[in-house]
Structures are given as structure tokens and as C-alpha cells.
């Protein structure tokens, strides 16, 4: 039960920080895909990155990896361009495997929930991250609920006030429904809903 709660709270991170951040984690230069891609190039061993792609895409990634290694030896500028091409191809193929679009490699954000979740995996402080997310979630629900109740008190005064209430009500109920769906989802379903 505790593990399910922790997983659910981690999945809800996307709701708290917004979908673009969550969906772009593997697009970042400090994300796990690029970190392992850099290590693979240095070791001249593609094995560590193959887990990020579907078996059907392995031939393409192996081919790009081999070409990258050949070009890297010609000059520093060529190595930089080749690395970027390999990273972009790898992330594009990885994202396609998740059914997500690739919009280019992103600079590392100053702070993100993905970085926090990766750090929790490294340190083992999963419960601390779950508690932090639970507090943020509680704050969001309380804020949205209070705002909706306040607007409901004036909803019948005029059409404009009524529409403001309806907008807040829809936002509040959709937020709560999304949380409930994630809490009830199996791990694979939650990953599909918020692929990164």
C-alpha cells in the first residue's frame, strides 16, 4: 500500500507542475536518457541506452551510434555535432516509443520534479518525496476548493459571476478526477498517461 501511494504521488507530480515539464524530462540534456547516452559514447558501448528504445528501433539506434563514433574521432567540432545528432535521434526514437512528440533537446531546467524524483531514487528518500508531493497536492485541492466555494456563493447574482463559478468548478472537479484516475491506475497505465 505504501509503495502504491508513493508511486501515485510521483505520478501526480505531472499534475502539480504541468504537463509540459513532465513530458519533457527525457528531452533534457541532464535527463537519464542523455546521461546514459554520454556514458555509452565514452565507453563505446551502446548496451546501456538500448533499454530506452523499443526492440524494433534498435537497428536505427545502433547505426547512428556507430556513425557517431566514427565522426567523433575527426575533430572536437565534429564530435560535438555527432553527439548532438545521436542524442536527438535517441530521444526522438524513445519519445516515439512512448507515443509522445519530440520537439528538440532542452536545456536543463534549474529545478524540476523530475530531478527531485531522480534524486530520490539515488538517495532512497522516496518517502520524503512522497510527503512533499502530498503536501503540495493537499494545498492545490484546498486552494481550488476554497476558490470554487467562494465563487459559488455569488453564482446566481449575474451571468458573469455564474460563468466564473462554472470555470472554477470545472477546474476543481477535473483536477480531483485526474488525481483519482491516477490513484486507481496500474503503474503501466499511469506511465502511459504521463509518458516522459
Q: How far apart are CA 89 and CA 60, in angstroms?
A: 9
pLDDT in tens, 23-73: 446 777 878 889 999 999 999 999 989 999 999 999 999 999 999 999 998
Per-residue pLDDT at 188: 59
- Residue of 91, 191, 182, 84 whose CA lies nearest to 137: 182
Per-residue pLDDT at 24: 44
Element (H, E) at 131: helix 126-152
Per-residue pLDDT at 194: 47
E-only strand ranges, 25-149: none
How many CA within 13 A on the CB side of residue 72? 15
Per-residue pLDDT at 125: 84
Per-residue pLDDT at 61: 96
Whether 175 has a pLDDT exceeding 80, the answer reads yes
| Average pLDDT score over residue span 131-148 | 90
pLDDT in tens, 106-116: 876 655 677 77
Kindly report whether the global pTM for this prediction surpasses the value 0.75: no
Q: How far apart are CA 97 and CA 124, in angstroms?
A: 28
pLDDT in tens, 123-137: 888 888 888 888 888
Amino acid at each position: 500500500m505504501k509503495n502504491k501511494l508513493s508511486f501515485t504521488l510521483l505520478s501526480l507530480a505531472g499534475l502539480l507542475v504541468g504537463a509540459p515539464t513532465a513530458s519533457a524530462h527525457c528531452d533534457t540534456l541532464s535527463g537519464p536518457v542523455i546521461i546514459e547516452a554520454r556514458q555509452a559514447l565514452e565507453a563505446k558501448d551502446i548496451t546501456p541506452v538500448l533499454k530506452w528504445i523499443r526492440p524494433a528501433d534498435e537497428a536505427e539506434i545502433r547505426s547512428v551510434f556507430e556513425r557517431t563514433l566514427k565522426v567523433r574521432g575527426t575533430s572536437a567540432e565534429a564530435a560535438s555535432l555527432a553527439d548532438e545528432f545521436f542524442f536527438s535521434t535517441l530521444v526522438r526514437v524513445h519519445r516515439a516509443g512512448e507515443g509522445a512528440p519530440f520537439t528538440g533537446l532542452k536545456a536543463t531546467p534549474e529545478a524540476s520534479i523530475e530531478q527531485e524524483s531522480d534524486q530520490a531514487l539515488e538517495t532512497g528518500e522516496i518517502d520524503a518525496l512522497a510527503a512533499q508531493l502530498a503536501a503540495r497536492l493537499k494545498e492545490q485541492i484546498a486552494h481550488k476548493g476554497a476558490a470554487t466555494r467562494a465563487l459559488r456563493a455569488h453564482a446566481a447574482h449575474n451571468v458573469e459571476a455564474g460563468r466564473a463559478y462554472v470555470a472554477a468548478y470545472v477546474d476543481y472537479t477535473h483536477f480531483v478526477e485526474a488525481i483519482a484516475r491516477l490513484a486507481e491506475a496500474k503503474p503501466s497505465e499511469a506511465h502511459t498517461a504521463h509518458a516522459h
